[in-house]
């Protein structure tokens, strides 16, 4: 387990040990944090799209250059 994973586990364990009302307060605080919500949205979007086919960046850039002309 990495240090990051261990830290996450400690926080998760502490969160789960809270009473329902306290967990609710933590969640409210998280969802009211604009930066956190943007990061969460990005993570969800990446998870949803990770199985989509990809293509090389050079191919995409060449296509964009063609469209500009």
CA quadruple 19, 11, 50, 55: dihedral sign:
positive
The span from the CA of 22 to the CA of 30, in Å, is: 13
> What does the pLDDT read at residue 64?
93
> What does the pLDDT read at residue 69?
74
> What does the pLDDT read at residue 68?
87
pLDDT at 11 exceeding the cut of 80: yes
How many helices and strands in the chain, by DSSP H and E? Answer: 4, 0
Judge whether 23 and 15 are in contact, CB under 8 Å: yes
Q: What is the mean pLDDT of residues 44-51?
A: 95
Hey, what are 1's tokens? 């387990």
Q: What is the mean pLDDT of residues 50-56?
A: 93
Q: What is the mean pLDDT of residues 54-63?
A: 94
Could you give the percent of the chain with pLDDT greater than 70? 100
The span from the CA of 38 to the CA of 63, in Å, is: 29
């Amino acid at each position: 387990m990495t240090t990051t994973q261990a830290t996450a586990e400690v926080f998760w364990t502490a969160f789960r040990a809270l009473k329902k009302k306290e967990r609710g307060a933590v969640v409210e605080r998280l969802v009211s944090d604009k930066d956190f919500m943007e990061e969460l949205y990005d993570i969800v979007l990446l998870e949803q799209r990770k199985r989509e086919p990809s293509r090389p960046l050079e191919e995409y850039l060449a296509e964009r250059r063609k469209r500009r002309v």
